[in-house]
Structure 1
Amino acid sequence: MTEPIRIDRRIRDNAETLSAALQHHMLKVYAPDQSKWLRRFSAGEAADLLGISTSFLRKLHFEDRVPEVQTSPGGRRHYELQDIGAIRRHLATGAKPIPLPGRTPGDKLQVLSFLNFKGGSGKTTSSIHVAQRLALKGYRVLCVDIDPQASLTTLFGFRPEYDFLDSGTIYDALRYDDPLPLSQVIRQTYFPGLDLAPGGLILQEFEHETPQALIAHVQPPFFARMAEALSEVEPDYDVVVIDCPPQLGYLTMSALCASTGVMITVVPNMLDIASMSQFLQMSASMLEVVSNAGASMEFDFLRFLINRYEPNDGPQQQMVAFLRQLFGEEVMVSPMLKSTAISDAGLTNQTLYEVERSQFHRTTYDRAMESLNLVNDEVESLIQQAWGR
């Protein structure tokens, strides 16, 4: 007779085995004394981010109007993101100034929450690529990871299960017992202009502690705690991007109540859309409750972002048409195409903006990058519209 399996012990053994394997993989990708770093950009990429032509960028260098940058033996210029930022500031003070993209006096902080009830809809992938694209274009961006699984935090090169086991996450700023100022939690990243409030398993404690806090009437209540935390660092950023967990819990509600914009990611197939229908119904009911309790429910925009779209897939085309018929302009114009380039980049814990084009088949890379930029630049236009521009 076989010995019965102790499920708790077996799960713990599996967890430890997997954690050790992931640690080994990370050590192969990154040396123990090395952290992630951002690649340099070509002249064409720099010009695109600056909103000028490559020939005008060359002219700026020829006339010594901007500092020289690193060049290859063949004479090609390669730009650090800090170099691009310096040129952007120069262009903002020229004879025909190109305004800086961020907030001006009177513009409110834009807080974007990416969410869906169903896991695997591309929330984390979408949120980090939006955040990085905005940072590349000169915005001051803060990423907030409120998913206990902390995938966003991992993509920034941290190991949540080791680095933030007991402290150092956004939980420290949201907790009911002696919360820390958010500025003490925020980490600078290898990506200039892009900071992170990390996530981790400890965030589950917020879900467990909130019912007791509601009984004890702890202030501020759960739905106001994210907005309260963000208010301390509000002058330091133009945009906050929040990656929500795939559930409609207290953390998600707190993020929604702090948001000015909501991005609902959806894969265009029947199961995902049916799941989203349930998510929307539950959200409406719960948001009504917290609204009656005094929460602000006014958003500048709400959009459905089509993710992992395959243009040649007939059923997907029908589902996208179905969504556009139902929701009109609330469905984003640009869908995010399904691409092996993005998933392949993830194997080395990178995003598409971080990897070199030479690592992929050029057509695959260019197709994914074009789709990604169309989506993210549409998000940028929504932010600018919210600022009245």
Structure 2
Amino acid sequence: ADVKKYVPHRRRGEKLQVVAVVNFKGGSGKTTTAAHLAQHLALTGHRVLAIDLDPQASLSALHGIQPELDKNPSIYEAIRYDDERKPITDVILPTNFPGLELIPASLELQEYEYDTPLAMQDKNSVAGKTFWNRIEKVLQEVDDRYDVVVIDCPPQLGYLTLTALSAASSVLITVHPQMLDLMSMSQFLLMLGDILKTIRQAGGEVDLDWFRYLITRYEPTDVPQAQMVGFMQSMLASQMLKTPMLKSTAISDAGLTKQTLYEVEKSGMNRATYDRAMESMEAVNAEIRELIHGAWGRAK
């Protein structure tokens, strides 16, 4: 058999896929989605880099890294504007998953939000004028090491998120199907439209292979939620992932011990609950994996 078929590594001419996972309201399952996606891709044979861009560092915590205890470097070290900048290879850590590496978050990431406007005002700073391409640039240094990069963005549309979106080849927006979340999502999209225009005018480019909404923490028995999902599907059909991620105690219970469904001990869980959650998670991740392979031009 042709072994190459079964190894999903990028082939010549296939570009690095950078998936930005975004949401502006807490509790949407953004980090859970990013963590499980990164682990799923690693488990299915891809070389993955997960980047925690959220100063709250939940993605780092899920991989056993506590920013307040472990003095970890973050991607801030690689994109800062001063002479202390380090190569990105200095901030990448291994995880327990073969094929998955991580750049953790630290509170220092917040500094980027303050440094960037100063760098933009500095007449001598070329970097400030093109702040949005800083993550894209540092990823080029490790382009040959990975197939997919998954970025867990902070829950606000600041400079970090913009820099991630400019590096992204695809965007996944997690949405909890409730009115307030939908309203915050539509505000976000309006703001995003304006900001992308600004970046384009300044000579930057945001070029996405795909853009999808993922319904998260979905309870099919909750009638208002089901109606909300129906409404979204009628409005945004082509941009919605077909599979929603079900709300599950299996995920929240695993999270309590800083674990994902791929790590947790099944024996300590209700079997049916675990199986349902896993089936839902795998269906979501398989759909995203197909989008990534589709962007490389591979047939299903």
Kindly report which structure 2 residues correspond to 1:1-389, keeping only aligned pairs within 5 A, or say none. 93=3, 98-164=5-71, 168-178=73-83, 179-217=85-123, 218-220=125-127, 221-389=130-298
SS of the equivalent of 1:160 reads: coil
AA aligned opposite 2:110 = Q
SS of the equivalent of 1:143 reads: strand
SS of the equivalent of 1:102 reads: coil
AA aligned opposite 1:182 = I
Q: CA deviation at 1:117?
A: 1.4
> Is the CA contact (8 Å cut-off) linking 1:141 and 1:195 kept in structure 2?
yes
Q: CA deviation at 1:92?
A: 5.2
The separation in 2 between residues aligned to 1:181 and 1:295, in whole angstroms, is 23
Q: CA deviation at 1:99?
A: 2.8
SS of the equivalent of 2:199 reads: helix
Q: Which runs of 4+ in 1 moved over 2 A?
A: 217-221
The separation in 2 between residues aligned to 1:268 and 1:215, in whole angstroms, is 40
SS of the equivalent of 1:157 reads: coil
AA aligned opposite 2:74 = T
AA aligned opposite 1:268 = P
SS of the equivalent of 1:195 reads: strand
Q: CA RMSD in A?
A: 1.1
The separation in 2 between residues aligned to 1:320 and 1:122, in whole angstroms, is 16
> Is the CA contact (8 Å cut-off) linking 1:113 and 1:262 kept in structure 2?
yes
SS of the equivalent of 1:303 reads: strand
Q: CA deviation at 1:98?
A: 3.9
User: Where does the alignment leave 5 or more consecutive residues of structure 1 unmatched?
Assistant: 1-90
The separation in 2 between residues aligned to 1:122 and 1:276, in whole angstroms, is 14
AA aligned opposite 1:308 = R
AA aligned opposite 1:380 = R
Q: How many residues matched?
A: 294
AA aligned opposite 2:97 = F
Q: CA deviation at 1:113?
A: 0.2
Percentage of pairs with the same residue: 55
SS of the equivalent of 2:18 reads: strand
Q: CA deviation at 1:102?
A: 2.0
Q: CA deviation at 1:123?
A: 0.8
> Is the CA contact (8 Å cut-off) linking 1:92 and 1:100 kept in structure 2?
no
The separation in 1 between residues aligned to 2:191 and 2:29, in whole angstroms, is 20
TM-score by length of 1: 0.74
AA aligned opposite 1:149 = Q
> Is the CA contact (8 Å cut-off) linking 1:133 and 1:376 kept in structure 2?
yes
AA aligned opposite 1:193 = G
AA aligned opposite 1:285 = D
User: Which segment drifts farther, 104-113 or 216-225?
Assistant: 216-225
AA aligned opposite 2:57 = A
> Is the CA contact (8 Å cut-off) linking 1:117 and 1:275 kept in structure 2?
yes
Report the counterpart of residue 51 of structure 1 in structure 2.
none
Larger Rg: 1
The separation in 1 between residues aligned to 2:137 and 2:267, in whole angstroms, is 44
The separation in 1 between residues aligned to 2:2 and 2:262, in whole angstroms, is 25
Q: CA deviation at 1:208?
A: 0.6
TM-score by length of 2: 0.96
User: 1:105-135 CA deviation, whole Å, 9 max, x = no partner?
Assistant: 1100000000011111111000000000000
> Is the CA contact (8 Å cut-off) linking 1:260 and 1:300 kept in structure 2?
yes
